[in-house]
Structure 1
Amino acid sequence: MPRPAPLPDWPWPAVMAHRCGGALAPENTLAGLRVCRNLGCGGVEFDVMLTRDGTPILMHDETLPRTTNGEGRVLDHGDAWLWTLDAGIRHHVSFAGEPIPRFVQAIERCRALDLAANVEIKPCGGHERRTGEVVARLARQGWEGAVVPPLLSSFSVDALRAAADAAPGLPRGWLTDRVPADWQGIAQDLGVIAIHTNSLHLTETQAAGIKAAGLRLAVYTENDPQHARLLRNWGVDTIITDRPDLIRA
Structure 2
Amino acid sequence: MNDLPPWPYPRWIAHRGAGKLAPENTLAAFRLGAEHGYRMFECDAKLSQDGVVFLMHDATLARTTGMPGIGGDQPWTTLSQLDAGGWHSRRYAGEPLPTLAALARFCLANDYLLNIEIKPTPGTDAETGAAVAREAARLWAGTAVPPLLSSFRPDALAAARDAVPALPRALLLDTPRSDWLDLARQLGCVAIVCNHALWDAQTVADARAAGFRQLSYTVNDDWAAQRLIDLGTDGIITDRVDLFSPAA
- Give the TM-score range, shorter chain: over 0.9
**For the residues of structure 2 that align with 1:57 and 1:78, how far apart are their CA atoms?**
11
Letter in 1 for 2:163: A
CA contact (8 A) 1:195 1:216 kept: yes
- Is residue 2:46 matched to residue 1:49? yes
CA contact (8 A) 2:48 2:71 kept: yes
Matches within 5 A, 1:8-87: 8-87=5-84
Q: What is the CA-CA distance between 1:169 and the residue it aligns to? A: 0.6
Q: Determine the structure 2 residue equivalent to 1:125.
A: 122
Coordinate RMSD, CA, aligned? 1.5
CA contact (8 A) 1:224 1:247 kept: no
CA contact (8 A) 1:23 1:242 kept: yes
- Look up the SS of the partner of 1:22 in the other structure: coil
**For the residues of structure 1 that align with 2:230 and 2:49, how far apart are their CA atoms?**
44
CA contact (8 A) 2:25 2:56 kept: yes
Q: How many residues align?
A: 244
- Look up the SS of the partner of 1:49 in the other structure: strand
**For the residues of structure 1 that align with 2:201 and 2:28, how far apart are their CA atoms?**
36
Q: What is the CA-CA distance between 1:233 and the residue it aligns to? A: 1.3
Runs of 4+ in 1 over 6 A off after TM superposition: none
**For the residues of structure 2 that align with 1:103 and 1:7, how far apart are their CA atoms?**
30
How big is each residue's C-alpha offset from its partner over 1:5-46, in whole Å with a ceiling of 9 and x where there is no partner? x99511111110111121111100111111111111110000
- Look up the SS of the partner of 1:219 in the other structure: strand
CA contact (8 A) 2:46 2:121 kept: yes
CA contact (8 A) 2:60 2:71 kept: yes
Structure 1 residues 184 and 7, CA gap change in structure 2 (3 angstroms): closer
Q: Determine the structure 2 residue equivalent to 1:109.
A: 106
CA contact (8 A) 2:16 2:30 kept: no
So what's the TM-score if we normalise by structure 1?
0.94
Structure 2 gaps of 5+ residues are: none
How big is each residue's C-alpha offset from its partner over 1:59-113, in whole Å with a ceiling of 9 and x where there is no partner? 1101011111322111332222211111111111101110000111111111112
Q: What is the CA-CA distance between 1:244 and the residue it aligns to? A: 2.1
**For the residues of structure 2 that align with 1:7 and 1:147, how far apart are their CA atoms?**
19
CA contact (8 A) 1:37 1:113 kept: no
CA contact (8 A) 2:4 2:211 kept: no
Q: What is the CA-CA distance between 1:202 and the residue it aligns to? A: 2.5
- Is residue 2:90 matched to residue 1:93? yes
Query: Among the aligned pairs, what percent are the same residue?
Result: 46
Letter in 1 for 2:19: G
So what's the TM-score if we normalise by structure 2?
0.94
CA contact (8 A) 2:46 2:72 kept: no
Structure 1 gaps of 5+ residues are: 1-5
How big is each residue's C-alpha offset from its partner over 1:170-222, in whole Å with a ceiling of 9 and x where there is no partner? 10000111242222211111110100110123322211211122210110000
Q: Determine the structure 1 residue equivalent to 2:191.
A: 194
**For the residues of structure 2 that align with 1:32 and 1:7, how far apart are their CA atoms?**
33
- Is residue 2:175 matched to residue 1:171? no
**For the residues of structure 2 that align with 1:76 and 1:186, how far apart are their CA atoms?**
30
Letter in 2 for 1:145: G
**For the residues of structure 1 that align with 2:126 and 2:156, how far apart are their CA atoms?**
5
Q: Determine the structure 2 residue equivalent to 1:3.
A: none
Q: Determine the structure 2 residue equivalent to 1:160.
A: 157
Letter in 2 for 1:18: H
CA contact (8 A) 1:152 1:172 kept: yes
**For the residues of structure 2 that align with 1:49 and 1:111, how far apart are their CA atoms?**
20
Q: What is the CA-CA distance between 1:235 and the residue it aligns to? A: 1.8
